[in-house]
């Protein structure tokens, strides 16, 4: 276990270093956006003096590297800063949307991960049968369809034709837990379409790969039932790649859902990021990007640690 | 988008909207709705919750009136607050928080008498100090208010006792009351700055505001206007995706959607049961030519382009018939100052060729910059134009530009662009914003001495006939010489569920000029 702890420590330090690099890249990328907030805010009434005055007021006249270190210093003290366009604390803007984004991602993950893995196992178990081909085709088709298309089809069928679900996912704090979940069914189903295919395909491949190992053959020769061979013998050794694909898809569910947010009018973090880029609200763009990067890094870190933990060989010193 | 919010236009019912209303009534009768029931439904009744979808909204929105940049934001403003003046269906200023007004003979000093007994949501009585505070914020030296330009000629706003304010205008204008009907000029208590909990004098109180998501309000039981504010709760939902908004209307999640696309209107019409409110003359779609550039400095070239635009096709295919054709000047046919005597310019290849010949050219190659940021369907409209102009000897090279930054990097920067402009409530505003020599938004980079003189004539008097004469002549000048080919006034279409009553097409722009909350009611 000592080895594992050391490994985790190294990965965490590397994660922090990655975040630092990301912060630098984000800051530089934002500087490259044409025009700035002062111009955007003043619009047509922008005279050079006007723009200069507003820039000074917003602190945009300070050299970029000083602003970067100010910003970094703030972040290190847990202060995300203030939105320049909305003049509100960024943490106050991001917190409720972050909760919404996590809620949707979690619901989608709760559906997609078990379904994806089970389908993958089933496909591996019955590989090269009609069943295997059928779910392969269906899940691949689901991946290939753009999200907005899936979303609109779901809305058309399940909200407009059959009035079972609301077509937009407006939620408010006074709704019950059940109602909130009910309103999230369509967007999370849309997201499931996008990720189940990957999870299923990779689970299947990983298990099929393990199934050709001699010890599996041994288990079979012992007369163990096929499904037990898969669950007890093959699956544990196929977990590492499965954990990785699940992690990648989890990250996608959190940072890549702006289209689903738009179609279902769901107030998540993606829309906030898009709005802020359009408005050149750089402090919010920086904060949101950093949070996304942090989420990616944490999830990948977890995935690495988990796959190492499930495979003792990987944590042995070489 | 934020660059060019359209300004209030109020419209008289047109033939089409009247017909639409009549058809709706006919359908209701055919559908077997008992007439007695209808009569009852026409009586305003209290109660219920009205949910309206509008876009665009942004997470950086604020309820601060100085930041309002499009219709959802000012609709929020008129839900919570009032202005001194309300613009009525004939584009006329009528009293709101100001009970009456008066001006000096030179139209420079204006006195507004405030209504007595009006209270803010927190119980504080409205006084002149609140008005002075709320208005002066926009003209302060360091103000970043979107209304700063509109008020640039206002020198001072002072209290005249507790119930009146005096406004000093630098050059004098007969349209000052119209200016004070602008949606940025809603009134808040003196010293107020907690904008996301905006306390106004309006029909509804804020209960929750999530920028870019929703504004939830409850009725102000103490509202000073009689026979207004019928529904108990009013929600303004900010939806940027048109399809999502339409679906929500279809599924009954919402009772109204503002500014639906013409295609959507046709679908809703064929589905039936929805009330479409069509407002004409709210904006212009046009091509802007830089009349100081080498190509367009010859008026004959500008006329050649104007004669090459296929106006009827534009209206048919881009506007789907929802709109009226433009005649190369910015005053819509339903404006009281519209000049009906100018002959409608039509697409005419022979004329285009003739004008080109006058300019010493046999053909003309032009780069036309466009983005759908200008208006929905803008790119398609350039394709139509390109095909129509080719036989007349004008070869259009369409330059498709990114929507992001179109108004800051392309518009007013390139010599030939596609654009839109929101119509203003008075011809003076329209002309001084878009046509006055050296105005920052003078898209044609166009100057005309006679036009400038007439502009001053229009500002010098409150006499309708004198002003009409000036504005008629100015429309002719812009039609003949201006740098803009204004080919269409697209309509604004709002869609309401059948349960919503009390709505009319003659509002100030969309959603009855943002006053849907206080006017609409829900029939049982």
Task: Encode pLDDT of B42-65 as tens digits.
Answer: 789 999 999 999 988 888 889 999
Per cent of chain A over pLDDT 70 is 94
In Å, the largest CA–CA distance within chain B is 72
Q: Which of A265, A267, A270, A288 best probes binding to B when mutated, by most B CB atoms within 10 angstroms? A: A265
pLDDT on residue A78: 82
Q: Which of A90, A165, A168, A257 best probes binding to B when mutated, by most B CB atoms within 10 angstroms? A: A168
Q: How many CB atoms lie within 10 A of CB B442?
A: 21
pLDDT at B243 over 90: no
Q: Is B409 on the interface with A (CB under 8 A)?
A: yes
> By the 8 A CB rule, do B84 and B187 touch?
yes
Cβ of A159 within 8 Å of Cβ of B247? The answer is yes
- Of the spans A4-18, A29-43, B27-41, B486-500, which averages the highest pLDDT? B486-500
Q: How far is CA B46 from CA A143, B249, B381, B417, in A?
A: 50, 22, 45, 49
CA distance A260 to chain B (A): 11
List the Cα angle B460/B466/B468 in 5-degree steps: 110
pLDDT at B362 over 70: yes
Q: Which of A63-67, A207-211, B466-470 has the lowest mean pLDDT?
A: A63-67
Q: How far is CA A309 from CA A97, A312, A315, B50, in A?
A: 33, 6, 7, 55
CA-to-CA distance for B458 and B101, rounded, in angstroms?
A: 20
Q: Is A96 on the interface with B (CB under 8 A)?
A: yes
pLDDT on residue A7: 80
The pair phi, psi for residue B367, each rounded to 5°, is -95, 120
CA dihedral B348, B354, B360, B361 (to 10 degrees): 40
Residue B326 in 3-state DSSP? coil
Task: Encode pLDDT of B86-110 as tens digits.
Answer: 988 778 899 999 999 999 999 999 9
Closest in B149, B253, B440 to A168, CB measured: B253
pLDDT at B35 over 60: no
pLDDT at B1 over 50: no
CA distance A15 to chain B (A): 30
Q: How many CB atoms lie within 10 A of CB A103?
A: 17
Cβ of A267 within 8 Å of Cβ of B213? The answer is yes
Strands B164-169 and B204-210: unpaired
Q: Which of A33, A37, A39, A45 best probes binding to B when mutated, by most B CB atoms within 10 angstroms? A: A45
Q: Is the pTM of this model over 0.90?
A: no
> By the 8 A CB rule, do B520 and B279 touch?
no
Q: Which of A86, A148, A263, A284 best probes binding to B when mutated, by most B CB atoms within 10 angstroms? A: A86
CA distance A199 to chain B (A): 29
Cβ of B240 within 8 Å of Cβ of A87? The answer is no
DSSP assignment of B5-43: -----B----HHHHHHHHHHHHHHHHTT--HHHHHHHHS
CA dihedral B434, B436, B441, B446 (to 10 degrees): 90
Averaged pLDDT, B365-390: 93
Cβ of A168 within 8 Å of Cβ of B244? The answer is yes
Task: Encode pLDDT of A268-310 as tens digits.
Answer: 998 888 888 877 888 888 888 888 999 889 998 889 888 888 8
pLDDT at B116 over 80: yes
pLDDT band at A45 (very low <50, low <70, confident <90, very high): low
What ranges in B69-112 are assigned the alpha helix state H?
Answer: 71-80
Three-state secondary structure string covering chain A: CHHHHHHHHHHHHHHHHHHHHHHHHHHHHHHHCCCCHHHHHHHHHCCHHHHHHHHHHHCCCCCHHHHHHHHHHHHHCCCCCECCCCCCEHHHHHHHHHHHHHHHHHHHHHHHHHHHHHHHHHHHHCCCCHHHHHHHHHHHHHHHCCHHHHHHHHHHHHHHHCCCCCCCCCCCCCCCHHHHHHHHHHHHHHHHHHHHHHHHHHHHHHHHHHHCCHHHHHHHHCCCCHHHHHHHHHHHHHHHHHHHHHHHHHHHHHHCCHHHHHHCCCCCHHHHHHHHHHHCCHHHHHHHHHHHHHHHHHHHHHHHHHHHHCCHHHHCCC
CA-to-CA distance for A184 and A167, rounded, in angstroms?
A: 10
- Report which of residues B286 and A36 the model is more confident about: B286
Residue of B nearest to A52 (CA): B142
CA distance B195 to chain A (A): 11
Cβ of A262 within 8 Å of Cβ of B409? The answer is no
Q: Is A54 on the interface with B (CB under 8 A)?
A: yes
Q: Is B70 on the interface with A (CB under 8 A)?
A: no
Q: How many CB atoms lie within 10 A of CB B30?
A: 8
| Burial of residue A225, with CB atoms counted within 10 A of its CB: 0-12 exposed, 13-18 middle, 19 or more buried | exposed
Q: Which of A3-12, B126-135, B317-326 has the lowest mean pLDDT?
A: A3-12
Dihedral sign for Cα atoms in the order B94, B96, B99, B104? negative
Q: Is A276 on the interface with B (CB under 8 A)?
A: yes
Residue of B nearest to A96 (CA): B210
Q: Is B341 on the interface with A (CB under 8 A)?
A: no
Take residue A34 and report the two structure tokens written for it: 């044409």
Task: Encode pLDDT of B71-91 as tens digits.
Answer: 999 999 999 999 999 988 778
Task: Encode pLDDT of A126-151 as tens digits.
Answer: 888 999 999 999 998 988 999 899 99
pLDDT on residue B22: 40
pLDDT on residue B12: 36
Q: How far is CA B329 from CA A233, B326, B431, B434, B468, in A?
A: 80, 7, 9, 11, 15
pLDDT on residue A55: 80
Give chain B positions within 8 Å (CB) of A279: 58, 60
Q: What is the DSSP letter of B121?
A: T
Take residue B328 and report the two structure tokens written for it: 């190369």
> By the 8 A CB rule, do B429 and A56 touch?
no
């Amino acid at each position: 276990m000592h080895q594992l702890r050391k490994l985790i420590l190294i990965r965490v330090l590397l994660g922090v270093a990655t975040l630092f690099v990301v912060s630098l890249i984000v800051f530089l990328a934002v500087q490259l956006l044409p025009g700035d907030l002062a111009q955007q805010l003043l619009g047509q009434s922008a005279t050079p003096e006007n723009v200069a005055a507003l820039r000074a007021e917003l602190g945009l006249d300070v050299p970029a590297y000083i602003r970067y270190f100010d910003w970094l210093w703030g972040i290190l003290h847990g202060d995300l800063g203030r939105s320049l366009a909305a003049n509100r604390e960024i943490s106050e803007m991001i917190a409720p949307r972050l909760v919404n984004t996590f809620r949707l991602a979690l619901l989608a993950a709760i559906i997609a991960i078990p379904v994806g893995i089970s389908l993958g196992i089933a496909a591996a178990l019955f590989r090269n049968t009609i069943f295997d081909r059928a779910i392969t085709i269906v899940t691949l088709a689901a991946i290939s369809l753009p999200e907005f298309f899936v979303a609109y089809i779901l809305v058309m069928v399940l909200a407009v034709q059959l009035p079972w679900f609301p077509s937009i996912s407006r939620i408010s704090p006074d709704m019950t837990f059940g109602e909130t979940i009910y309103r999230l069914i369509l967007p999370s189903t849309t997201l499931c379409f996008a990720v189940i295919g990957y999870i299923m395909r990779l689970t299947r491949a990983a298990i099929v790969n393990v199934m050709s190992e001699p010890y599996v053959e041994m288990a079979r020769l012992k007369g163990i039932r096929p499904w037990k061979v898969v669950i007890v013998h093959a699956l544990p050794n196929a977990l590492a790649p499965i954990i990785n694909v699940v992690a990648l898809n989890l990250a996608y569910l959190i940072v890549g859902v702006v289209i689903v947010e738009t179609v279902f009018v769901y107030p998540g973090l993606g829309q906030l990021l898009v709005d802020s880029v359009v408005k050149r609200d750089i402090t919010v763009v920086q904060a949101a990007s950093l949070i996304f990067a942090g989420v990616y890094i944490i999830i990948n870190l977890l995935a690495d640690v988990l796959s190492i933990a499930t495979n003792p060989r990987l944590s042995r010193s070489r | 988008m934020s660059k060019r919010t359209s300004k209030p236009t109020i419209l008289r019912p047109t033939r089409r909207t009247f017909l639409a209303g009549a058809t709706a009534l006919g359908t209701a009768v055919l559908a077997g709705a008992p007439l007695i029931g209808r009569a009852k439904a026409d009586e305003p009744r209290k109660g219920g919750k009205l949910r309206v979808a509008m876009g665009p909204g942004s997470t950086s929105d604020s309820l601060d009136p100085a930041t309002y940049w499009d219709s959802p934001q000012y609709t929020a403003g008129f839900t919570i607050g009032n202005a001194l003046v309300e613009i009525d269906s004939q584009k006329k200023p009528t009293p709101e928080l100001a009970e009456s007004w008066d001006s000096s003979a030179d139209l420079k000093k204006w006195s507004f008498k405030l209504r007595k007994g009006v209270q803010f949501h927190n119980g504080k009585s409205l006084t002149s100090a609140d008005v002075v505070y709320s208005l002066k914020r926009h003209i302060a030296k360091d103000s970043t208010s979107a209304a700063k330009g509109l008020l640039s000629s206002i020198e001072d706003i002072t209290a005249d006792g507790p119930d009146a304010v005096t406004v000093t205008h630098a050059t004098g204008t007969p349209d000052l009351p119209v200016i004070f009907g602008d949606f940025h000029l809603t009134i808040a208590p003196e010293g107020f700055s907690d904008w996301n909990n905006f306390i106004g004098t309006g029909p509804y109180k804020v209960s929750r505001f999530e920028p870019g998501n929703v504004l939830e309000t409850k009725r102000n039981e103490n509202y000073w206007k009689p026979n207004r504010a019928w529904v108990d709760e009013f929600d303004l939902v900010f939806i940027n995706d048109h399809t999502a908004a339409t679906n929500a209307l279809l599924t009954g999640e919402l009772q109204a959607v503002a500014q639906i696309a013409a295609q959507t209107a046709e679908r809703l019409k064929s589905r039936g049961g929805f009330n479409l409110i069509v407002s004409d003359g709210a904006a212009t779609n046009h091509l802007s030519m830089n009349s100081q550039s080498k190509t367009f400095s010859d008026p004959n070239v500008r006329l050649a382009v104007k004669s090459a635009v296929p106006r009827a096709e534009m209206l048919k295919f881009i506007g789907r018939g929802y709109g009226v054709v433009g005649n190369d000047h910015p005053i819509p046919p339903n404006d009281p100052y519209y000049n009906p005597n100018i002959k409608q310019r039509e697409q005419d290849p022979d004329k285009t060729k003739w004008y080109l010949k006058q300019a010493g050219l046999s053909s003309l190659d032009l780069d036309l910059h466009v983005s759908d940021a200008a208006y929905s369907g803008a790119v398609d409209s350039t394709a139509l134009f390109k095909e129509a102009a080719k036989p007349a000897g004008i070869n259009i090279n369409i330059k498709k530009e990114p929507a992001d930054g179109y108004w800051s990097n392309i518009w007013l920067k390139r010599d030939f662009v596609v654009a839109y402009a929101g119509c203003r409530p008075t011809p003076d505003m329209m002309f001084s914003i878009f046509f006055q020599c050296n105005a920052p938004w003078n898209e044609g980079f166009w100057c005309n001495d006679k036009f400038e003189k007439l502009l001053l004539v229009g500002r010098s008097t409150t006499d309708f006939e004198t002003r009409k004469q000036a504005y008629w002549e100015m429309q002719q000048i812009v039609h003949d010489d201006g740098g803009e080919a204004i080919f269409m006034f697209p309509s604004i279409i709002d869609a309401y569920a059948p349960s919503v009553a009390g709505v009319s097409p003659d509002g100030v722009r969309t959603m009855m000029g943002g006053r849907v909350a206080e006017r609409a009611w829900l029939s049982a």
